[in-house]
Chain A
Amino acid sequence: MIRAITGLLSGIVFGFGLALSGMMNPARVRGFLDLFGQWDPTLAFVMGGAILAMALAWLFQAQTDKPACASQYHLPDTKHIDGRLIGGAALFGIGWGLGGLCPGPGIASLATQFVPALIFVASMLLGMTFFRLWNRG
């Protein structure tokens, strides 16, 4: 029960923060990516705030043996760089530039901009399904 509440709370705070940050506006995200046009640096401030808060969390994490509500940490590898990482990130960036949406704002927008958000999220789900089929060979 406490784990369920923790997961839900993390999501709520994330969604509220995204809305406050302006990143639920695809035109603003696109403005950040429009480096050679009317550049909008807001996204850099969002990343700065998020990385600052999360860097403190990592410092705290290093002092602990296990998380508060689970038996152990499940943390991804930080070093291995391969074609999948770079190719995947490259494709993601193209989609991000086309729509001005990454997964978080796309999903959160289901609350406020249902039709466009649904078009994006359904397409994203389809893309993830293609990946799963392709990855299985």
Chain B
Amino acid sequence: MLPGFPHAQPIEGFLGGLLIGLAAAIMLLGLGRIAGISGLFARAAGIGGSGAKQSIAILFILGLIAGAALFSFTMGPIEANFPPDMLWLIPAGLLVGFGTRLGSGCTSGHGVCGMSRLSRRSIVATLTFMITGFATVAIVNALGGSWS
């Protein structure tokens, strides 16, 4: 589909991205809030400092799960390949949880909602987590931890 990148899914990716942007637009223009998933999840769990009402955050998180379920019922199975050792998901989750709260956002809040608003904060945050993400994968691969 994309010359030189046989595994890329540019069209599905772009269309899925449009829907993600639409979802964030519904949150912004409907409720006046940023659709930042780390913040909404913390809020839903009762450990977020401020933000949307807890009931709204819970419904958003349940909707997120339902949306993925709806896709797999209507469009077929969702391809997913996890790390060779599931234990990797523990440090991954710990760092994602701590880091997103300390840095006030993740891919959705900073990457989608903030960058599209040309927020200087979000641009710096997004560049930072992309750089450490690139570095982490490069280091893991160099240490023989490649997934394939």
Cβ contact within 8 Å between A7 and B112? no
Q: Mark A61-73, 1 if CB is under 8 A from B, else 0.
A: 1001011111111
The smallest beta-carbon distance between A70 and chain B, in angstroms, is 5
B-chain residues with CB within 8 Å of residue A130 when the two chains form the complex: 94, 97-98
Contact residues, A93-116 vs B (CB, 8 A): 93-104, 106-113, 115-116
Cβ contact within 8 Å between A116 and B86? yes
B-chain residues with CB within 8 Å of residue A120 when the two chains form the complex: 89, 92-93, 96
The smallest beta-carbon distance between A125 and chain B, in angstroms, is 6
Q: Mark B42-65, 1 if CB is under 8 A from A, else 0.
A: 100101000111011101111111
The smallest beta-carbon distance between A6 and chain B, in angstroms, is 4
Q: With A and B bound together, what is the CA distance between A126 and B99 in angstroms?
A: 12
Contact residues, B100-126 vs A (CB, 8 A): 100-104, 106-108, 110-122, 124-126
The smallest beta-carbon distance between A26 and chain B, in angstroms, is 5
Q: Which residue of A lies closest to B119 (CB)?
A: A78
Q: With A and B bound together, what is the CA distance between A56 and B3 in angstroms?
A: 30
Cβ contact within 8 Å between B8 and A41? yes
Contact (A53, B31) CB under 8 Å given A104-B37, A106-B96, A124-B97: no
Q: Which residue of A lies closest to B114 (CB)?
A: A78
Known pairs A8-B63, A93-B130, A125-B93 / 14 extra A-B pairs, C-beta < 8 Å = A7-B31, A19-B16, A22-B9, A22-B12, A53-B18, A53-B21, A57-B21, A67-B31, A93-B132, A96-B92, A103-B107, A106-B96, A107-B64, A128-B100
Interface residues of A (CB under 8 A from B): 3-4, 6-28, 30-31, 33-58, 60-61, 64, 66-81, 84-104, 106-113, 115-116, 119-132, 135
